[in-house]
Structure 1
């Protein structure tokens, strides 16, 4: 069988598609981060209670939970191309509308809708990117996807701090997400539909047209590797071998982001509890954010060289040990504390990029978007719960116990990965999604991954 599509060189089309697709996580990081700065002005102006502040802050996360699942289902049913732009048009409109709200209720509603649009974009964009990208570049490009979250967060803090100097600056802050959103929408226009999805829908002539346009006039569906295994609907996932894969992805994803979201959301409070106070705590939080980004970039470099399975296991192991060190020695020298915190931020990068690599590789085209969306939604439950419990744990259990619990959650991700993580490096999407192909290779890797 021809491998002209999966062995194709990385073209300008692939690079542009990767850039346009990464707009979703950029906007996620921007939107979730800038609300923290805006709340400095919103809280006194609207006289928000503690519960109202929590709802304003959490509304986008709740929207992402629902949007990721529904967006995944919609992209499998109606295609990737249409929703690739429609979801962000909704985001732009709701972002602008935030500048005109007069009370907390409408702000919460709009934040919910914005989160919905951001959540929907994840399965849409990653499915499209995975289905066009050559095998050699699929891991790095999907992995690089997550790094844009931290770029978006950094830009949001810069913009927020600047606009904070103006009266009612919070209105401009929240509306400002429309600017990158509109740019991304315009860039995405004209992106072709996935030929794999078109083929699954029986639209072979359209699929051939897309393949000829992207890969050359002589490339047809005959050059597109078939996907192994029979067609499976989303409802059948739990009754087939794919149910085990869904459980693996949901558990490892949850174990990865529960401690990370907690550390990111409450970084200054955690560092102050570890005896780093004042400016040192804020500078430490900024430095850790940079380390998160660097960790993801290092993992992108290693995902093909090291392999998916070794990368995720080692990432969980060493990041978990760094958290364990913080839990066992909470009164250590400030420099030691910062080193351990930075080590965690750097080493957890492997699990972060695999949140987007594995889900897109381990499921067939007809349910890829739905599976990514469902796993993303389920993992957000644990992330929201963990984030909510952090301040309670800090006050009730103390910093040492809190960090030990975070270490246990992280190391649980390692155990699950040792048991279930397959190796999909170098495989076509069809080979990776086929139950009888991907699992044995992962099993063979299991005995040597930690050697």
Structure 2
């Protein structure tokens, strides 16, 4: 008789439509993440004019969303381990709606900053839980591309923010409309999540076997009932299954357990090195990079739009590749290409200075870098940790992981201009290229391959690495 994991793997593609619909609804959280992150770029000039902001004041308004994201990411996972994935995502939708309304009607810079912090809370929660929820409902064979929908929607949200910025530019109170429009997908996100089932794996962990069975049937459709029963058997027999397995206290302390350590090193290390590679500085400061390479202001803006388009177009390529080639091979290859692209950019900036003849070569290297990021790092950065962590602490572990991501994002963005002044463009991007090379080594040595495996199988395989007892062994 075939094992449950084998049954699941064979039946993973039997009825993909229901789970794809579930993943698309959940990924609206990613769209809100992208929109609320990107909309400030077009709104800032009018906000500065309306409120008379200084450079420091503008920086506070822009960066406040990252502070909220750090807090939201840190808190959402623990709550989801206690109360479930769906209720916390519904609450995140409410937070997005509240933040959009606060920003749209903010009478002062201080209240706009507070609204941005609120929006950040929603972003942090969504960045944490949307990948986890999708991973826990997806069949192993297609889990990578389904979780990758989150990144696609983030990218789409950024593009929609740019479109809204352009479309509303001459409308009275334009920036207020830009922020307020985010309430529409936020309401849709909340309403959609109310209609979706709870994660069957979280239900199995709490001992709610019948509810877990019903949830599996909803996300697997009307395919082979035996496959659902086989998958349920694996859930209820997993290393953390049973109502008594969910830790009631000390969830953060549980992350120090040896059985969690290999996954935590891989997941957190990926976030730190991924952000330290300079990916967001290239996106945030692309016009400045292009101007420093010798492009005029209008050409720099045009080239930046091109970077955004490349980011959007290449993301689906990575989504299709991640389940075919595997997470570690894709990420390792991408990290090498990223390192070479940044090294080429550094060499171009060193050789060309302000010579415009080198400017478009610099653009080419930036586009190559973004294409590599979009097809590899950005696709797997949420997939890998959502798959690696043991079920009993998955939400809390994702909290630490995404807190690391947002903190590193904040620090790298904060220090980029200082590095640029101190080291110049060549020195700065040589440093980032070295980090990309380190990411390639880290991927090969520390991140296990998870392609095609059930989450329970991944948990069983990682436990012996840490010297932890196998499932069923005395504890």
2:140 to 128, 135, 143: 135
| 3-state SS in 2 of match to 1:77 | helix
Paired position in structure 1 for 2:385: 359
Quote how far apart the aligned CAs of 1:96 are. Answer: 1.3
2:185 to 158, 173, 180: 180
Measure the CA separation in 1 of the matches of 2:46 and 2:105. 15
- Cα distance per residue 1:174-223 (max 9 Å; x no partner): 11111121122222221011121111112223222323444456644336
Distance 1:93 1:266, change over 3 A: same
- Cα distance per residue 1:241-268 (max 9 Å; x no partner): 4223212222222222341110011000
Normalised to the residue count of structure 1, the TM-score between the two structures is 0.92
1:126 to 124, 127, 131: 131
Paired position in structure 2 for 1:417: 443
Q: Do residues 169 (structure 1) and 174 (structure 2) align?
A: yes
1:222 to 216, 222, 233: 233
Contact 1:320 1:410 in 2 (8 A): yes
Quote how far apart the aligned CAs of 1:238 are. Answer: 2.6
Measure the CA separation in 2 of the matches of 1:309 and 1:227. 25
Q: Do residues 49 (structure 1) and 68 (structure 2) align?
A: no
Contact 1:2 1:225 in 2 (8 A): no
Matches within 5 A, 1:146-165: 146-165=151-170
- Cα distance per residue 1:359-409 (max 9 Å; x no partner): 111112221122222111112211111111112222232111111111112
Contact 1:424 1:438 in 2 (8 A): no
Gaps of 5+ in 1: 441-451
Matches within 5 A, 1:386-397: 386-397=412-423
Further displaced range: 384-393 or 211-220: 211-220
Gaps of 5+ in 2: 353-357, 467-475
Measure the CA separation in 2 of the matches of 1:433 and 1:319. 30
Measure the CA separation in 1 of the matches of 2:404 and 2:373. 20
Normalised to the residue count of structure 2, the TM-score between the two structures is 0.87
Contact 2:262 2:465 in 1 (8 A): no
Paired position in structure 2 for 1:306: 325
Further displaced range: 302-311 or 5-14: 5-14
Distance 1:241 1:206, change over 3 A: closer
Contact 2:81 2:395 in 1 (8 A): yes
Measure the CA separation in 2 of the matches of 1:386 and 1:84. 28
Q: Do residues 103 (structure 1) and 105 (structure 2) align?
A: no
Measure the CA separation in 1 of the matches of 2:237 and 2:46. 55
Contact 2:90 2:194 in 1 (8 A): yes
Q: Do residues 60 (structure 1) and 71 (structure 2) align?
A: no
Further displaced range: 430-439 or 146-155: 430-439
| 3-state SS in 1 of match to 2:433 | helix
Paired position in structure 1 for 2:315: 296
1:251 to 257, 269, 273: 269
Measure the CA separation in 2 of the matches of 1:142 and 1:405. 31
Task: Compute the RMSD of aligned alpha carbons.
Answer: 2.1
- Cα distance per residue 1:212-235 (max 9 Å; x no partner): 444456644336474347957542
Further displaced range: 334-343 or 49-58: 334-343
Measure the CA separation in 2 of the matches of 1:212 and 1:329. 56
Matches within 5 A, 1:338-349: 338-349=363-374
2:399 to 344, 352, 373: 373
Quote how far apart the aligned CAs of 1:99 are. Answer: 2.0
Measure the CA separation in 2 of the matches of 1:235 and 1:437. 18
Paired position in structure 2 for 1:408: 434
Further displaced range: 8-17 or 221-230: 221-230
| 3-state SS in 2 of match to 1:43 | helix
Measure the CA separation in 1 of the matches of 2:137 and 2:111. 39
Contact 1:59 1:108 in 2 (8 A): yes
Contact 2:268 2:401 in 1 (8 A): yes
2:359 to 323, 327, 334: 334
Q: Do residues 115 (structure 1) and 144 (structure 2) align?
A: no
Q: Do residues 426 (structure 1) and 452 (structure 2) align?
A: yes
Measure the CA separation in 1 of the matches of 2:446 and 2:57. 41
Distance 1:84 1:13, change over 3 A: farther
Paired position in structure 1 for 2:471: none
Further displaced range: 328-337 or 280-289: 328-337
Aligned residues: 440
Contact 2:143 2:323 in 1 (8 A): no
Distance 1:164 1:178, change over 3 A: same
| 3-state SS in 2 of match to 1:102 | coil
| 3-state SS in 1 of match to 2:256 | helix
Quote how far apart the aligned CAs of 1:46 are. Answer: 0.8
